[in-house]
């Protein structure tokens, strides 16, 4: 039973890994399509705002027309009252009352439109900001994907060969440096350890007689020999 559970869990894990790998591989195409869908939806929302604005404008024109009719009726009803034409004045007052009710209803409709327009515009503005941010992110993701793709064109063997060549060159340079240092040290030791070389350097420094004859030393020797002869 325990083994069966483990096998089942393993299969689910492999399925999950496969789904994750597929989703990762298709993430960029999926993002592009989602942004296209969001753009279409945003355009539809903008058209909806335009429609509501048109309704609001039409209702506003209707309210303005009612206001003009009310002004005209009130003027005429006052004139009827001034002329004591009560029947006409009552008829005018009835029409005024009906128009006032219609005006209030129209104002309520306008308020509803204004609320809806404000809400829709806020939603559209927020959606536009989010869409722009997503589009910038998509551009960055596409550039990163292109860079990674180009990086992936470098064969793995090239990197390994370059690393091995660098190590070989470093070893070669180290050996050459060591050989040069050894040769220089050997030359110094040979020069310093030679008795002949030490004697020559002492003679050159004036310590003892010169080891090699020169014209001056020959002349000095000959003068000494001549002066010692009997006159």
How far is 59 from 112, CA to CA, in rounded Å? 11
CA 142 vs. chain centroid, Å, equals: 11
Task: Confirm whether 96 is domain-assigned.
Answer: yes
Task: Provide φ and ψ at 150, rounded to 5°.
Answer: -65, -40
Task: Confirm whether 151 is domain-assigned.
Answer: no
pLDDT digits (tens, 9 = 90+) for 159-179: 777 788 888 888 888 888 877
Predicted model pTM: 0.52
- Of the two residues 147 and 49, the one the predictor is more confident about is 49
Task: Confirm whether 206 is domain-assigned.
Answer: no
* Half-sphere exposure in the Cβ direction for 203 (13 Å, CA): 11
Q: What is the pLDDT of residue 56?
A: 94
Question: Which domain range does residue 89 map to?
Answer: 29-146
How far is 213 from 210, CA to CA, in rounded Å? 7
Task: Confirm whether 184 is domain-assigned.
Answer: no
Please state, in angstroms and as integers, the Cα–Cα distance from residue 39 to each residue in 26, 44, 112, 144, 221, following that order.
Answer: 20, 9, 27, 23, 116
CATH code of the domain in which 142 resides: 1.10.287
Task: Confirm whether 56 is domain-assigned.
Answer: yes
Q: What is the pLDDT of residue 82?
A: 92
Give the mean pLDDT of the chain: 80
**pLDDT over 90 for what percent of the chain?**
41
Model confidence at 21, in pLDDT bands (50, 70, 90)? Answer: low
Task: Confirm whether 164 is domain-assigned.
Answer: no
Q: What is the pLDDT of residue 110?
A: 95
* Spatial CB neighbours of 32, under 8 Å, sequence gap ≥ 6: 138
Tally of domains in the chain: 1
Task: Confirm whether 17 is domain-assigned.
Answer: no
Find the mean pLDDT for residues 127-150.
Answer: 86
pLDDT digits (tens, 9 = 90+) for 92-124: 999 999 999 999 999 999 999 999 999 999 999
Task: Confirm whether 135 is domain-assigned.
Answer: yes
């Amino acid at each position: 039973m325990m083994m069966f559970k483990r096998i089942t869990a393993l299969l689910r894990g492999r399925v999950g890994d496969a789904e994750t790998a597929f989703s990762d591989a298709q993430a960029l195409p999926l993002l592009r399509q989602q942004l296209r869908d969001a753009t279409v939806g945003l355009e539809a929302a903008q058209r909806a705002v335009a429609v509501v604005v048109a309704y609001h404008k039409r209702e506003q024109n209707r309210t303005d027309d009612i206001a003009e009719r009310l002004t005209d009726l009130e003027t005429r009803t006052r004139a009827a009252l001034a002329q004591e034409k009560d029947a006409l004045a009552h008829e005018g007052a009835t029409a005024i009352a009906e128009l006032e009710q219609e005006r209030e209803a129209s104002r309520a409709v306008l308020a509803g439109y204004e609320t809806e327009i404000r809400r829709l515009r806020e939603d559209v503005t927020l959606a536009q900001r989010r869409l722009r941010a997503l589009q910038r992110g998509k551009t960055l993701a596409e550039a990163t994907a292109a860079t990674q793709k180009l990086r992936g064109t470098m064969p793995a063997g090239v990197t390994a060969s370059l690393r091995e060549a660098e190590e070989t060159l470093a070893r070669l340079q180290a050996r050459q440096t060591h050989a040069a240092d050894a040769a220089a040290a050997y030359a110094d030791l040979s020069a310093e350890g030679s008795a002949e070389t030490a004697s020559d350097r002492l003679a050159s420094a004036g310590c003892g007689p010169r080891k090699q004859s020169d014209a001056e030393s020959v002349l000095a020797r000959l003068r000494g020999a001549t002066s010692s002869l009997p006159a």
